[in-house]
Amino acid sequence: DADVTQTPRNRITKTGKRIMLECSQTKGHDRMYWYRQDPGLGLRLIYYSFDVKDINKGEISDGYSVSRQAQAKFSLSLESAIPNQTALYFCATSDPGHPPEKLFFGSGTQLSVL
């Protein structure tokens, strides 16, 4: 089984719909992240959480919200999806550390908003 599991793997939805992307991990890591990948733009950080009670906005948080339900679960919601949110979404986890520990990525969720 994968250490970082994202569901669903693919999703097609319509403009204005609410959608949730889920991420669960068995790594036991405190830190979890949501990134989106767009061709030519690389990965951009949406939200991150350093522990269950900690939520932080990333570079592009507008139009998104998150919930850290437990150490192992971190969900990303699009309250009212729009076409420019069509992208590949990645969840990642890491341990705290200095220097920083490596990120472990899920396989991604391809979201299409029509």
Partner 1 sequence: AQSVTQLGSHVSVSEGALVLLRCNYSSSVPPYLFWYVQYPNQGLQLLLKYTSAATLVKGINGFEAEFKKSETSFHLTKPSAHMSDAAEYFCAVSGHSGNTPLVFGKGTRLSVIA
Question: Which of 11, 3, 18, 30 is closest to 89 using CA atoms?
Answer: 11
**Nearer Cβ to partner 1, position 80 or 107?**
107
53 part of the interface to partner 1, by CB under 8 A: no
Q: For Cα atoms 54, 19, 9, give the angle at the middle one, nearest 5 degrees.
A: 90
Q: In whole angstroms, what is the distance from residue 20 CA to residue 62 CA?
A: 15
Q: Which of 12, 80, 102, 114 binds partner 1 (CB under 8 A)?
A: 102
- Beta strands 54-57 and 42-51 are antiparallel
Piece in contact with partner 1 (CB under 8 A), picked from 12-20, 65-73, 77-85, 102-110: 102-110
**What residues line the site for partner 1 (CB under 8 A)?**
4, 33, 35, 40-45, 48, 50, 58, 90, 92, 96-100, 102-103, 105-108
